[in-house]
Amino acid sequence: MAFEACVLTPGTIPLLVSFPHVGTDIPSSMARHMTPAALLLADTDWHLPQLYAFVREMGASTLVPRYSRYVIDLNRPPEDINLYPGQDTTGLVPIDTFRKEAIYLPGEEPDEAEIAERRDLYWRPYHEALASELARLRAAHGHAVLWDAHSIASVLPRFFEGRLPDLNLGTADGSSCAPDVQAAAESVLDAQSVFTHVTNGRFKGGYITRYHGRPEDGVHALQMEMCLPTYMDETAPFAYRPDLATRVQPFLHRMLDAVVKAAA
């Protein structure tokens, strides 16, 4: 189902894979106010639908946005509250990149009225589609799993020291899914030695995981934040690397199989 802001593809199993930061479109009315650094879109979660293409064969639902996180960040609360108190983050409508480069030309930042308009046009439809599909899956199967797929540069001093682990599982410190569901994903991570990993480290899960994950109601949400070099070149032009992707895809597939079975 195509909407102006996103495309929802319904599946047949109780799994929805969300890709909130893969969008690359920026309306021309906004782009003319942005800096050259912003228009490189370096903070995009590049190629994730391609990396996770196997989920369609599994029968999973997918939700893919059209617009860049620089238009609005779909993984931030609508009130723009910092989900990591005391730590630096970018906001609902970011004004700088992950490397502290200005997104807007001097004096061209959006005002509160424009932010509210973007929230209605781009943020709200994504979350309405997400909630509607989770409700459909829960009604059909008695439960649902939401896998929120992300990727990020391996070294970003603004957000963390040193190099980030390859695979970063987040469950809001265990509150967004049942313990057995978290343990199922961790068992796959622990059984391999190819990729470094951590659970509820620097990235515990953003708004999507925390808000939509309601294990007491049968909806289990997990966030996976991957380092870009596990499947692509992390410098421009940000090329997809099938040779790398084929190494990590089996582990992602096993984790998704495991969490779906554990949630049943």
Q: What is the CATH number of the domain that holds 78?
A: 3.40.630.40
Q: Note the pLDDT of residue 85.
A: 84
**Averaged over 13-37, what is the pLDDT?**
97
**Averaged over 127-144, what is the pLDDT?**
98
Please indicate, yes or no, if residue 69 is contained in any of the structural domains.
yes
Q: Distances in Å between the alpha carbon of 12 and those of 15, 144, 172?
A: 8, 11, 27
Q: What DSSP state is assigned to residue 197?
A: E
Q: Note the pLDDT of residue 257.
A: 98
- pLDDT tens-digit profile of 200-250? 999 999 999 999 999 999 999 999 999 999 999 999 999 999 999 999 999
Please indicate, yes or no, if residue 181 is contained in any of the structural domains.
yes
For the cut 60, the answer to whether the pLDDT of residue 42 exceeds it is yes
Please indicate, yes or no, if residue 65 is contained in any of the structural domains.
yes
Considering its fold, how many domains does the chain have in total?
A: 1
Please indicate, yes or no, if residue 255 is contained in any of the structural domains.
yes
For the cut 50, the answer to whether the pLDDT of residue 48 exceeds it is yes
For the cut 60, the answer to whether the pLDDT of residue 262 exceeds it is yes
Instruction: Please return the burial class of 235, using the count of CB atoms within 10 Å of its CB with bins 0-12, 13-18 and 19+.
Output: exposed
Please indicate, yes or no, if residue 208 is contained in any of the structural domains.
yes
Residue 44 belongs to domain spanning: 6-263
CA 135 to chain centre: 20
Averaged pLDDT score across all residues of the chain: 96
What percent of the chain lies above the pLDDT cut of 70? 99
Please indicate, yes or no, if residue 112 is contained in any of the structural domains.
yes
Please indicate, yes or no, if residue 1 is contained in any of the structural domains.
no
What is the C-alpha separation between 52 and 62, in angstroms, rounded?
10
- Classify each residue of 105-134 as buried b or exposed e, where b means 16 or more C-beta atoms within 10 Å of its C-beta: eeeeebeeeebeebbeebbebbbebbeebb
Please indicate, yes or no, if residue 31 is contained in any of the structural domains.
yes
- pLDDT tens-digit profile of 53-112? 999 999 999 999 999 999 999 999 999 888 888 888 899 999 999 999 999 999 999 999
